[in-house]
Structure 1
Amino acid sequence: MTAIKRTLCVFAILVATLTAMGPGYARWSDVLKVRMRGETGILAVGIRCEEVRDGYQGHCNKECSPSSITWVDGAYSCDIDGVPAYESGDLLINSGCPHYSPVCRVKIGNGGTIPARLRGLDFEWSSDESPGWVTVFRWVLTLPDAQTLCGVNLSSLQRALQGCVLDPGQEVFLEFSMRCMSDTANGILTVSPDYVRWNKQLE
């Protein structure tokens, strides 16, 4: 085999090798770009109160003042449908009693640029008084696919929310009632979404 033929043979092998590698490299490059965008995008989930109202207040164990509830927005998180949503919200409860069952309806949405996976909602009760406290009683949840779930108590709500993936712009709607676990409860129930990137495993 002459030197020219050997050179042409080597050149043909190189061309064939590069041609075979081309589609694979293109796929790897696309996956890398998607992964880079997913890792460096904006992760932002916010909560917004749609309605809060007094619920049933029947006969308490003792005479008490009329109960009341108010929602106060926390720090800004992102926009959902062009409207601000927040990192958390405070439910200010005054003179809650065991037969007082206020209702709150919130929207939880993804205002970022990458999908988010919900782990649940954090509910934190704070009060200068003891032992009064407030917790979730009944709830109705509407998921992004329009599926509606309902249940009783906080643990079942957390199970329903856990693992729910919100694409950018998607949201869930939650309406829940509360129950006061003392004769008189005065304090703040802070509500905030707990979430991670969609591709991160829940702990």
Structure 2
Amino acid sequence: MNTMLLKSDPTEFNSFSGFIASRSNVNLPSLESPSATSELASNALNLCLNIVSKTAAPEPHFLWSDLESVTICPSDYQFKPWWEGSSDLVCIEDEDIVLRAYCSDAERALEAYTSLSQGWDGDNAPPPKASSLDDATVFLRLLSANVESCPNILPGLDHEGIPMYIFDTDDIYISLSFYGDLSATFFMKNRATKDIEAYEFDMEEPRQLARSLELIRSL
């Protein structure tokens, strides 16, 4: 498009060049110069690369301060732009991400729960649904990515085969249950004050999810 504009209306192209130069601090050559076209192309390329290098690389999701404006995904990681190095781009599968130490017991339990069958508790309890275990796994990864430290998670299953996580300190008891449709319940009791906070939340709703993570982070 620039070549056509140069041939048809040099005045208009000069105006456009001046606009670009004023916005980017790039010294564009006069069109009277024999090498003006090649220098313009080079400057335009450098300008574009400069803009992209400062704006296109995603930030790691665990450093975002406002969860409302983003989609949380455990596999969002920072990679250098391709022109800054010669390394091949590497894709990391979720299951290859190493979780924090406080997640170890829960991670092993979720794996064991996949092999349970009807009556696993000796009293005809149903096995956990695959979708429930998937939701519990997603939350575990989100927790590990956003909370640096917290009490070790105590995993469990209720009599309906619903997976749950328990956090238990001297003063605070927290439990979360996962139902397989991206819905979960949160329960917290302060033993010292007798205060109770309980609610259902949607794992795709950023505010509710952020609230749950913050309460666990405060333990």
TM-score range for the pair, normalised by the shorter chain length: under 0.3
Q: Which structure shows the bigger proportion of residues in strand conformation? A: 1
Q: Which structure shows the bigger proportion of residues in helix conformation? A: 2
TM (normalized to structure 2)?
Answer: 0.26
- Greater RCO, 1 or 2 (C-alpha within 8 Å, sep 6+): 1
